Amino acid sequence: MDCRPNCGACCIIPSISTKTALLPMGKVAMAPCIHLDENMKCQIFTSADRPKVCASLKPSEEMCGENREDALAYLTWLEQETC
């Protein structure tokens, strides 16, 4: 499965606890990542600077659902279950 255009759910909902040069404080949950562009695409998707947690997220029917709202809801649930 490929990423859904104009979604960005996986760049908004999850927290990122790993500190990187580009995210020295990590990222809080429910906030858009600083690398998410206006088209809801990751600007560092192919970069070595991309956090490992981001690289570990792969689009799937379970995570992405039928639409962006499904993805946001699932990832919100997952974030709450794992915080």
Q: Considering its fold, how many domains does the chain have in total?
A: 1
Residue 50 lies in a domain: yes
What is the pLDDT, as a whole number, of residue 21? Answer: 85
For residue 52, give every residue at least 6 positions away whose Cβ sits within 8 Å of its Cβ, in sequence order, or none: 18
Amino acid sitting at position 75: L
What is the pLDDT, as a whole number, of residue 19? Answer: 87
Burial pattern 24-61, b for ≥16 Cβ within 10 A else e, equals eeebeeeeebebbeeebebebeeeeebbeebeeeeeee
pTM, 2 dp: 0.89
Question: Going residue by residue through the chain (83 aa), what tens digit of pLDDT does each one get?
Answer: 889 999 999 999 999 998 888 899 999 999 999 999 999 999 999 998 899 889 998 999 999 999 999 999 999 999 999 88
74 lies in which domain range? Answer: 9-82
Residue 60 lies in a domain: yes
